Every structure is written in structure tokens, then in C-alpha cells.
Structure 1
Amino acid sequence: MSAPAWPVALLLGATFALGPAAQAGAPAAASLADLSLEQLREVVVTTVARRPERLEATAASVYVISADDIRRAGATTIPEALRLAPTLSVARADANQYAVSARGFNNVLANKMLVVIDGRPVYTPLFSGVFWEVQDVMLEDVARIEVVTGPSTALWGSNAVNGLIHIVTRNAAATAGALVSANWGDRQRSAALRYGFDGGAGGHLRLYAKSYDRQDTHRADGLSVGDAAAGTQVGFRGDWALAQSTLTLQGDAYRSHIDQGATTRRLGGANLLGRWERTFADGSDMSVQAYVDRTTRDQPGAVIDKLDTVDLIAQYGFRPADAHRVLLGAGYRHARDDVTSFDAIAMIPAVRTMGWGRVFAQDEIGLTRRLAVTLAASVETNPYTGAQLLPSVRLAYRPNAESTWWGAISRASRAPSRVDRDYVQPARPPYLIAGGPDFVSEIAEVYELGFRAQPVPALSYSVTLFQHEHSRLRSLAPTAQGLQFQNGYRGRTRGVEAWARWRVTPAWRLDAGLSLLQQKLALSPGAIDVVGVQGLGNDPRQSWSLRSSVDLSARVGWDVSVRHVGELPAPRVPSYTAVDSRLAWRLAPRTEIALVVQNLFDPSHAEWGNPANRVELERSVLLQLRWQP
């Protein structure tokens, strides 16, 4: 039996053997905790239309990771939780860094995915992406993670080209009392404490604190990479229900350090967010959100970066007629980025003050009882290229209550970052590499066709076909001033993403996912590049996953997942199949202990990097405790 096939056979054999037993032996109270969320018609998402809507009617490729999914997977970080979405490509580069993307262009500095935590984009203008080693929340407080693949730029702005990840935490009213969680393992240790209480004036508050300690990873030759890390984070959230409105205040502060050989990378930051929402008597609604964010990054040999961000956005939704639902909004983000460089690299100017402004509008039109079209567009300005129009058209057809056909055409962009325009290497002339003074936004014209169905209450599935036509992708070309970033590449990305959820019995659920990708990129006529297409990302042509969740009894739950990732082409990373297992016991109604084993049948495998120095991710064992007194 081939390597990719035998873990699946083991999983299916075990679950089919145990599934009937679980059904017979487990009372109703022991069934999967999120069974109501398994019914597609009851899942509500807020990301696609910037308002609540049922997943079944959404004209987009959406996968929802529930709170129970995260718990049963034994995830301890946001990227590990994101592995649960079969539409995402998640590769771990070392103890702290991940490459996360969708539909191609994956990299530890991936720049075509927008990530949002409770409406707050966690975005760095350095490279238009996310530093995953500093993004953290208390996972026990996460209500769900909405993963939208495909463009979301019409409502969320530039950089949501290949998708948007929205991490939504629970309302403070849902987290009353104390919760303690702890993880002890051979590769990591962590602990978290949360306490929720009455906030007065019809409100609720929660406070939390957490810390972690991660061990070094190792190369194939056994040498340590020297990337151990430790950090702490504290935060709060308060929610108040007023007469016809709600008010949310929340904030976080963190500090961490990461070994990097003989030096140490030091990271820190804090944010504060406020959101006011009101529903009026005529059914219209309005929301205003503002946040401030401060991040610092002291990375010896690279940069010392201090980024201050202020962001304000407001939107108003109303119905001018029965067949129309209109959303109007505007936002502005102001940032001051101060980069102190070392001799190796620099940003010129060292300090840049930047502003991004945008207005957006959407009209959801019910053409017939079964057919609806959504027209949306935003006009956005950025510090480098001025205004750009980002439109989309989405069509949804519901032939019956159990299924939805949908299609979309969108224009998306990835706005220039500081690296694209301001980067120089070395810090003083003559420069070997420099940002391009004429670098403009990367553009994607995207076509999608999808089908989503729940033919019976226990089974739901989704299939999406997509094609992205890319232009003005980044290249590195020789000039009289040295190598400069230019917009030299164009090409096409097409593929299929599919997932299914089957509740085999009240106590047993199977989840499966598949992603197929074909990418063809080439230089535009007259363009020159010295790096090659591997500089744009490294992606598998295919990946799939299978996950089984079984309640063996009222107190015992067992989860097994198999994920296969195809070979990465350049630099070459061999394909791998990983099997993870989690066995949990409920010691009391609100107390659980679990044993998590990752990479169960393989001592190690690589997921990212050059063969000479890449990390081999070793088998790991983790004991988890969750206690709510």
C-alpha cells in the first residue's frame, strides 16, 4: 500500500469500527458539541457581505472553522487552527513562522491574504502581509474562523486578493466565569487564564492572560536551528447591550522573544478597538469602528521597526426597496512606520507616514425568489499609486432549499508595500537590490463558479472552480542602478477547492477536503527577471485532508486527522502525509484532559525551506488540560 493511502485506510478502518459502537454506547448528551453548526442552513457568517448572512446563500467560497473544531484538533496557535480549512495552504517553516495562503503564491511573507481579528486587519505595510509569529488570541475565546477564498477587495480593500481570514471571538456575555487551560509537551508548553464577569450597565467583561514557551526545531542532520521562543499576552473585551445599540471595547498587549542563533528577536505591541452598532426602527443599521495599534520589531541583522496605526471605518445598511439591500461605507487608515536599519538592508526614507482611504458600496438585489445578484465596489487610495477601482459582481441561484449555485467576477489588487518601493540592500549605495520607483499595484481578474448543497441534514458539501488572471506581478530586474523590483510577471492560476461534512451518526462526524492548483506564470513581453517564478511563491499542485471526530462515550472523544500535501516545486520539498490524533476525557462536565500526538506515524517531515537548512518537524506529544471551575 502506498504511503499516502495507508493512513487513510487506518483512519477509515478505525472510525468505521468505532462509529457504530459510539452510536450505541453514547447517550444524546455525549454527541458532538457543535451538531447544530453542522447544519449548513444554520451557519451564519459576517465576512462576505460585512453583515450577518446564512452560509447557504453566500455567493463565495467560505469555510467555517468552529470553536469545537479548534478544541477537538488540539490546536495551540492560530496557524495550526487554520490547517482545519482545506481551502488554505499552511506550511510551518520553523518553531514560530508559517507560510499561509490560498490559491497560490504561498510564502512566509505571503502578501495576497488579508487577515482580520474581530474587524481589525493585522497588516504590516512592510510587505503587505502578516507576521504570524506575533498574531495570537486565546483560542478558547474564538467563536469561529471564517475563511473566504477568492477576492474580498470590493468591501475589505486591497490585499484580500486570494482570500480573507476573519477570526471572530466570543461576545463577553458568553464567557462568564473562570477558565484555565494548560499544555505540556516535548516541543512546547503554554498556559492561559480567563475570567468573565458582569460589567455593569447591561454589559459583560472578560480578562485574559496567556504565556507560551517553544523549543528549538532541528534540521535533518540533527543540528538545532536555534529558534526557541517565549512570550506573554494579556487582554480584555467588554460588550454592552444598550437600548437599540451595542458597544464593544477590547484590547491586547504582548511581548515575546525568539532566538535567532547568537542574537534574539524581540517583538511587542498593543492595540485598542472600539465598535458601536445600532439597528434603527425602520430596519436599517449602522456601525462605527476605530482602533489604534502599536507594534515593535527588533530583529538583529534586519530591521528595528516601530509601526503606529490608527484606523476608522463606518458603514450604513438600509433597504430602499423590498428587492434591494444596500450597504455604504467609508474608512481611513493612517500609519507611521519608523525603520531603523542595519548595514545589510534599509528603508529609504527610514520614516514614512502613510494613509489609505476608501469608500465602498454594495447592493444586494433579489431578481426573483430564487435568483439574486450582488453588485459591489470600492475606490481606494494608497500612498504610492493613488486611487483604484475594485468591483465585483456575484450571482446566486437557489433551485431549492437544499442547494445554491453561485458565480462571481471580481477585480482585485495588491497595493505596493514599503519593500516594493523603499527597500535597499545594502543600506548604503551602490545598491545591489532596491525598490522600484515605478512599482504599481498587482492586479488579478478573478472568475469563480461554485455549488453548495445540503441534500440531507447530515451531509453538506461545497465545490468551487476558480481562475485568476494575474498581471503586473513582482519581478526583480537589472537596471543601471542595480536590481530593482518591477511589475514584470503575468499569468494564470486555476483550480478546484472542495469540502464535505458528513454526520455519520449523532456521535460521529467525518470532514474531507481537496484542493487542486495549476499555475502558469511568465514574464511579460520585454520584461527581465533574475529570480524566476519561485520568487512569487511555492505551492503544491494538490492537497487533501480527512478528519474523523467520534464521541466514544459520554466522557471520551477521539479525533484523528490525515492531511496530505503534494510536493513543493522550488525549492523542492517532498510531499508528505501527516496523521494527528487527539484522545480526550471529560473528568467533569466542565473539565477535560486530552492527549495530542502530531505526526503519529512519521518521526519527522519538512514543510518549507531550502534543503540545506530547512526544519524537519518532529513527532510531538502534548497533554492538554481545560478547567472551568
Structure 2
Amino acid sequence: MFRTEISMLAACALAGAAHGQNLADLSLDQLSRIEVTSVGKRLQRVADVAGSVYVITADDIRRCGATTLPEVLRLAPNLQVARVDGAQYAISARTGTDLLANKMLVLVDGRTVYSPLFSGVFWEAIEMPLDDIERIEVLSGSGGTLYGSNAFHGVINIVTRSAGETAGTLVKGAVGTSERFVTLRHGAASDAGAFRVFAKKRDAENTQRASGAPVRDASRHQLAGFRWDGGTPQRQFTGTGEVYHHRTEDVLGERDYHGAYVLGRYIEDAGGRRTQLQAYADRLVRERSRTIRNTVDTLDLELQQQQLPTAGMDLLWGAGWRLYRDDAQPASPAALDLLPRRKYLHLWNAFAQVEMEGAAASRFTLGLKAEHNAYTGLELLPTLRYSWRPSEDSNVWAAASRVVRTPARVDRDVASPPLVPNPSVRAEKADIAELGWRGRFGSGASASLTAFAHRFGQLRSFDLNGATGVFANNYGGWLRGLEGWAEWFPAQNLRLKAGMLLQHPRYDAAAGTSPQPPSVTLGNDARHLFKLGVAWDVRHNVWVDFHVRHVGRRPAPAVPSYLAADARVAWRPAPSVELSAAVRNLGEPRHVEWGAPATASLVPRSLLLQFVWWP
């Protein structure tokens, strides 16, 4: 889904950021030329994309002071990120924010990381060296035509740096008031290829409730992995792999995650075609004390081919197959069970997308994905996109798409009194319309604005029928909103960023039904979100960064709105050493982001001291 080399300009910008690039080395032109794959499943300049996509660069990650992937994702103004406790997060684009959010597709180097158990992501199980990330593309809106049924509200595409960009040794460690970690990495490059090996260990402490009582949510994370890149510009090979073990305390004892994956990719540029073949195997074991042990084995194969543009037309097509082997072994079947306990799930898909040049600097994109799943059979996911460049500095675009979210094991197979299995649960559906503009103002400012409207059908509901309950499809509704962001360089050593999200969801129960409130199954969303970031190069070796966010209230359970600010100061006393101090939540000492305030885990103010060494 990406290639190991990017354009010379973007490569210099991103690779330099990993070692402390100054703002004077960046420009809006360079940033607009960063290439992404999320919207078209092929490399496109951000400025040309007909979609609402925000890019978190390696420089953004380095300067924000975050230590985990969910905290990094707070930088994206088109994402809602809420910390549930010391280890768990509720993350979604637009609506559907919930601990078990099930409508965002998350990719790491082309590998899908959502769970077939509930179609969502166990964020506490995704730990990675943040220094190895090249960029994170956050696409809000439909991604279903290219990525499949779970790209309902969008795609988070995490792209790591090629092994050739991480040659040498890196030692990174940190200690703080609530966590500590150490990362080790070593890489080398030769004419035969490049490799890196890495390891990370991170420990986080318990949080507290408003009463001062500790919450059992301390966590321990360990991982080790590798990446290898080789071949020629015409024939490229990539191999990655990782083993990991994450353990988090909870009220029942602990949640334990361990697993491994290996991925291989081959890309060939020849004969006017770009062909990519990718395969990966993955195992994830999740075990929660006194509830259930769930083992998921995944095998995935994907082929895609891009015909290089001819006569103003660009064709992209592909096909894929995925097999899940899901094995659930309950500790107490009378309290929680999945029936059947072992299940094989096959997922087949084929897609095609054509992009054509139109008159007056316009382009049309028409795409269709046919996907067959084990629950609802064949689903068709079409999209139509249009973009118009009235000038070199602006892009007006529009899109219309159909997306689905197919049932998961929890929807149909779970048995947890009073909940009983329901084999009739259907796919959730949405029709999405978007209108956007992206542009630059002179040499120092840029902005992006998107208006969106979603029409929902067959949304998942929880219905009570006497003493029993079932998941069903008895909600429909609408979502209307506006999201946007802007960036301004008032001086060579100063960058300002701002972002906002305004939205109004409405859910209506089907006639003759009375399901539980939509917050039970559809999430608890803030209606507005505002963010501001400041990056200042005080000197050539001193950097100051400041981020503030205001998040609106959540209705059910009621969570008050809050204002939070983070700051980081970094100093490089020598070319191979960097020292930094990061303070998170400068405002109130503690605040609630998720759950009823009386019993919720409070997000604390924290201090982190960090050391990085490139020997």
C-alpha cells in the first residue's frame, strides 16, 4: 500500500525530522508535496487528494512529546481521542467514539490490526517505537471502496520508515511521574539491502478516581521486531515482523495480550505497470482473567496493480483474500460464551478504480469494491470523487460513497446473560456525501475545510425482549458536520497549527422498536473539538512546542467539556544527544475524558524526562 521510496523532497523533510529538523528547513510547498496512499491506495500529493486526509509527520511525532500511539493521534483534528483509563482509549473519526469503537480501519504498513471479535482495535495492544514512524495518514469519511467494510468512518494508515533511513544505533529512554520506557534500535545498509532490529519496553502506573482511590490499570509492554528492505528501484522487497507481550491490570485481575506477525511485500515497476503482492500471517492471543481467552490467527493475501497513466486515465485494480481462525475459550460459559467457540471466517474482495482527466484542470474518480464475508455475503462499496484545481494553490473536491460495517463475532455469536446470539444481525450501512476545499495563501499559510453528511441505515442496536437481549439493526439516522485545519508560518522559526470539528449526529429507532439509547452501541461523541499547536525553534538546538485542545461535553454518560494543554522543551547539547522535558495536562491537575465522573479514571498531569542518543 506504499512504496519504500518517496519523492526526494518529502524524503529529505521526513528523514531530517527524525534527527531534529528545524522549521526553517520546512516550507508549505514541501509539506504539500508529502505523498499519501489513504485516499487512492497509490501515492498522491496531499495537495491533489480528493478527500479529507490529515498527515501527522515524523517531525510532528518527535516534537509532541507523546509516548504512545493513541496520544500521537491526538494531533489529528479529524479524530476524537478519549483516554478511558491508564491503558485503554476510545478513538474514532467523526462519530462512533467508544471503548469498543468498531468503524475505523487501522493499518500498520499495510497490515490490518482490527479484531474480528468486535471489528475494532485493542489500542492497549498496539505498542511501537514512535521514532520508526514516517507518517500517519488519517482519512476521515469513507475508505470502503479501497479498504473494505470496516473503513466506515475512515482509515488510520501508519507508515514506518524504510530500513535504509534508520541505519546506525539509537538509544532512547524516559522516566516520568506516571510511566517509563526504553527503546533500542540498530540498523545497517549495504548494496544488498538494509535492515533494522528494535526492542521496546514501557511501564505505566495506575491512575486514580475522583475519590483518590487507585484504578487497577497499570500496564507493562514488551516488544521486539525487525524490518528488511532490498532489491532495486524496479523490484523492491520488504519484510517485517514482531513479537510482543502486553499486560494490563483490571478489576478482574488482568488483561494479557501476546502474539507475533510476519509480513512480506514485493513491488515491481515494469512495462508501464506497478504491481504489488503482499502477504502476512498474524496471531493475537487476548486473555482476560475469569472471562475469556480469545486466539485469532490471520492469514492475508493481497494483489494490486496500477496501470501508469495513458491518455489521461489511471487504472488501479486488485483482489485479496483473508482467513480468520477465531477460537474463544470461556472461563465461565454460563456468564460469557461465544457460540460456536471456534469459527473460521473467510473474506474475499476485488476492486477497481479509474481516475480520468476532465476539462479545466478537473479529475473524476470512479471506484467499486465487491467484498464477500462470512456473515452477510456479498457487499458492494462504490465511490465517486471529483476534484478541480482552479489554481495551482487550491483544490475543490466532492465525493459520494457507500460504506458498510459487517457483523463481528460479538454481534452475532456472543452469549452473556441477558444477551443471546442473534444470527440475523445485518451489516450497518451509510451513504456519505462530502464537499471540501484545500489551498494555500501565499508562501506562509494553508488550510483545509470539509463539509460532510452521512445517512445511516441498519445501525447496530441493543434490544431488550423481556428477560433477554439481542443485538439488532434498529437504528438509522443522520450526521452533519464540518471539519478543518490550518497551518501558518509567521516566521522561519515559528509554526502555528489549528484544527476544529463540529458535528451533529441524530439517531432514530425503527418504527415499532424500542432499543436501548444509542450511546449503548453507537458511541458517546463530543459535538465540537478545537485544537491549537505552536512549534518554535528558539535556537538551532533548542525547540519548544505547545498544544492545547478543547473537547466538548459528551452526553451519555455525561462527561463535562475540558481544556487540556501539553508542552515540551528539547535541547541538543551535542549532535548525537537530545534531552527533553514534556508536561502533559498543564491546566487542571486531573480531568475526566470518558465515563461517569464519579467512577471514571482521571487523566493526571504528568512530567516526562527523556534522553535520546545516536552513538
- TM-score band (shorter)? over 0.9
Q: Alignment partner for residue 126 of structure 2, among 110, 124, 135?
A: 135
Q: Alignment partner for residue 305 of structure 2, among 309, 316, 333?
A: 316
1:287 to 2:273 alignment: no
In structure 1, C-alpha distance between the alignment counterparts of 2:309 and 2:171, rounded to whole Å: 49
Match in the other structure for 2:603: 617
Residue aligned with 2:304, SS: strand
Output aligned runs, 1:485-504, within 5 Å. 485-504=471-490
Q: Alignment partner for residue 332 of structure 1, among 321, 324, 334?
A: 321
Q: Alignment partner for residue 243 of structure 2, among 246, 250, 253?
A: 253
**Cα 1:513–1:213, aligned 2, differ >3 Å: closer, same or farther?**
same
Match in the other structure for 1:24: none
Match in the other structure for 1:305: 294
**Cα 1:33–1:360, aligned 2, differ >3 Å: closer, same or farther?**
farther
Q: Alignment partner for residue 222 of structure 1, among 197, 200, 212?
A: 212
1:452-485: CA deviations, max 9, x gaps?
0012222111000000000001112234782111
Match in the other structure for 2:171: 180
Output aligned runs, 1:136-535, within 5 Å. 136-198=127-189, 202-242=192-232, 244-261=234-251, 263-282=253-272, 284-319=273-308, 321-343=310-332, 344-426=335-417, 432-479=418-465, 482-535=468-521
Q: Is the 8 A contact 1:39 1:460 kept in 2?
A: no
Code of the residue aligned with 2:259 in structure 1: it is G
In structure 2, C-alpha distance between the alignment counterparts of 1:243 and 1:101, rounded to whole Å: 37
In structure 2, C-alpha distance between the alignment counterparts of 1:329 and 1:418, rounded to whole Å: 27
**Cα 1:82–1:295, aligned 2, differ >3 Å: closer, same or farther?**
same
1:119 to 2:110 alignment: yes
**Cα 1:130–1:37, aligned 2, differ >3 Å: closer, same or farther?**
farther
TM-fit CA distance, 1:301:
3.2
Output aligned runs, 1:517-556, within 5 Å. 517-556=503-542
In structure 2, C-alpha distance between the alignment counterparts of 1:465 and 1:367, rounded to whole Å: 24
Code of the residue aligned with 1:277 in structure 2: it is I
TM-fit CA distance, 1:419:
0.6
In structure 2, C-alpha distance between the alignment counterparts of 1:363 and 1:624, rounded to whole Å: 48
1:240-265: CA deviations, max 9, x gaps?
03362100000111012111136122
Q: Is the 8 A contact 1:543 1:566 kept in 2?
A: yes
Q: Is the 8 A contact 2:462 2:520 kept in 1?
A: no
**Cα 1:30–1:207, aligned 2, differ >3 Å: closer, same or farther?**
closer
Code of the residue aligned with 2:133 in structure 1: it is V
Identity, in percent, stands at 43
Residue aligned with 1:115, SS: strand
Q: Is the 8 A contact 1:403 1:455 kept in 2?
A: no
Code of the residue aligned with 1:475 in structure 2: it is S
TM-score (norm 1): 0.92
Residue aligned with 1:68, SS: helix
Q: Alignment partner for residue 572 of structure 2, among 571, 586, 590?
A: 586
In structure 2, C-alpha distance between the alignment counterparts of 1:37 and 1:313, rounded to whole Å: 35
TM-fit CA distance, 1:601:
2.2
In structure 2, C-alpha distance between the alignment counterparts of 1:391 and 1:187, rounded to whole Å: 46
Residue aligned with 1:536, SS: coil
In structure 2, C-alpha distance between the alignment counterparts of 1:297 and 1:354, rounded to whole Å: 18
Match in the other structure for 1:596: 582
Match in the other structure for 2:8: none
1:203-243: CA deviations, max 9, x gaps?
00000000001000100000001111112100000000336
Q: Is the 8 A contact 1:584 1:593 kept in 2?
A: yes
In structure 2, C-alpha distance between the alignment counterparts of 1:34 and 1:145, rounded to whole Å: 21
Structure 1, 467-476 or 608-617: larger mean CA deviation: 608-617
In structure 1, C-alpha distance between the alignment counterparts of 2:391 and 2:147, rounded to whole Å: 31
Code of the residue aligned with 1:327 in structure 2: it is L
Q: Is the 8 A contact 1:37 1:43 kept in 2?
A: no
Q: Which structure is higher in RCO with an 8 Å CA cutoff and minimum separation 6?
A: 1
Output aligned runs, 1:78-97, within 5 Å. 78-97=69-88
Code of the residue aligned with 1:473 in structure 2: it is L
1:40-84: CA deviations, max 9, x gaps?
431211121111111111000010000010110001111000000
Residue aligned with 2:32, SS: helix
In structure 2, C-alpha distance between the alignment counterparts of 1:40 and 1:559, rounded to whole Å: 19
In structure 1, C-alpha distance between the alignment counterparts of 2:444 and 2:98, rounded to whole Å: 37
In structure 1, C-alpha distance between the alignment counterparts of 2:296 and 2:352, rounded to whole Å: 30
In structure 2, C-alpha distance between the alignment counterparts of 1:30 and 1:407, rounded to whole Å: 35
In structure 1, C-alpha distance between the alignment counterparts of 2:519 and 2:37, rounded to whole Å: 35
Match in the other structure for 2:68: 77
Match in the other structure for 1:106: 97
In structure 1, C-alpha distance between the alignment counterparts of 2:324 and 2:390, rounded to whole Å: 47
Match in the other structure for 1:18: none
TM-score (norm 2): 0.94
Q: Is the 8 A contact 2:21 2:59 kept in 1?
A: no
In structure 1, C-alpha distance between the alignment counterparts of 2:192 and 2:443, rounded to whole Å: 37
1:407-436: CA deviations, max 9, x gaps?
00000000000011001114xxxxx11232
In structure 1, C-alpha distance between the alignment counterparts of 2:24 and 2:161, rounded to whole Å: 16
Residue aligned with 2:164, SS: helix
Q: Is the 8 A contact 1:571 1:610 kept in 2?
A: yes
1:287-340: CA deviations, max 9, x gaps?
000000000011013320011000000001114732110011000100100001
TM-fit CA distance, 1:201:
5.3
Residue aligned with 1:79, SS: helix
Q: Is the 8 A contact 1:202 1:242 kept in 2?
A: no
In structure 1, list runs of 5 or more residues that go unmatched.
Answer: 1-28, 427-431
Q: Is the 8 A contact 1:30 1:551 kept in 2?
A: no
Structure 1, 235-244 or 186-195: larger mean CA deviation: 235-244
Code of the residue aligned with 2:405 in structure 1: it is R
1:112-146: CA deviations, max 9, x gaps?
10000000010101110100000122100100000
Q: Is the 8 A contact 1:36 1:42 kept in 2?
A: no
Count of equivalent residues? 594
TM-fit CA distance, 1:625:
1.2
In structure 1, C-alpha distance between the alignment counterparts of 2:233 and 2:397, rounded to whole Å: 38
In structure 2, list runs of 5 or more residues that go unmatched.
Answer: 1-19
